[in-house]
Amino acid sequence: MSEEVNPQVFPNRWANATGPSGQSSPRDLCRCIEHGTRKQLPTGFHPERQDTTAPGWIRLLELVEEAAADGREVFKPLVELTAEQRRQVITLPPTITKLTSVKHLVLYGSNLVRIPPEIGAMKSLEEFTPYTSYRLHWFPYEITRCLDLRRSTVSTRAVYGNYKRRPPFPPLTGASADLQSVDLEDLDPGVWGATAIRTCSVCSQGIQDVDLRQVWISLRTSGADVLPLLVNACSTACIDALPMSAEGYIQIPHTGGPRVRQPSAGQLPH
């Protein structure tokens, strides 16, 4: 007679990281990054603009102020939003600069399509958890200013350049466009990755219309994840000051697009 084996039970790490369910999905469908046998098409930035009149956005602003006021170290704003409200939030407000005490930012299962550069002001950030945020394909270079960041949980299969499938990087207009007529305070996020670009990602100086240069770089921003970072630079000197990319990725800053050759899918150094 065989002994009865009790099944092993694994704890749900994210049980307290999700908000209440609802009749509608808290996220929009994204097919930017293909999986399985589907052919990967050229990629581009998500063009959505944040609706600043949406209840979810207004509530998020309130939650940021509350977290800044009480100096909390763990910030999980989405758990306090309904499913419909979570779907209304596609970025974070610039006021996250006030969250200087937050050590762990939890954005599990978000509908975010971009993280603002202001995340670089979260000087105490040690852990970043945007896991299962499948529409989040890149991050701002300013996240490298979070010098204490040691842990992250990112759905890396959904990011540009990931070694498992090597999704292509969107081409960067800011690398070659005539910027004389471009209003950097009112940009098309589907083209530039943001609705406004005000300061240099590297030196923090203000960017003038004719000075903007955009490049991609892939860096290991925490103990585990290599992330594609968008750099908005004010000069070639700032681009030259960028560090070397992580091993197994394009080694120099680049402007994306179909002409950029990445290492083969699945290829990483031994």
Q: Which of 214, 230, 187 is nearest to 49 (CA)?
A: 187
State the pLDDT at residue 87.
97
What is the pLDDT confidence band of residue 179, given thresholds at 50, 70 and 90? confident
For residue 4, the model assigns a pLDDT of 55
Choice among 136-140, 167-171, 217-221, 262-266 with the minimum mean pLDDT: 262-266
Q: Which residue's structure tokens are 């399509």? A: 113
pLDDT in tens, 236-247: 999 999 999 999
Chain centroid offset of residue 237 CA: 25
State the pTM of this model.
0.90
**pLDDT at position 9:** 43
Q: What is the DSSP string of 93-119?
A: -GGGGG-TT-SEEE-TT---S---GGG
pLDDT at 109 over 80: yes
What integer pLDDT is reported at residue 266 of this predicted model?
79
Compare 265 and 251 and report the one with higher pLDDT: 251
> In 3D, which of 59, 192, 113 has the Cα closest to residue 183?
192
Mean pLDDT on 60-78 = 98
C-alpha span between 266 and 166 (Å, rounded): 8
The residue length of the chain stands at 270
- Could you tell me if residue 163 is left (phi over 0), alpha (psi between -120 and 50 degrees) or otherwise beta? alpha
Structure tokens at 39: 């052919």
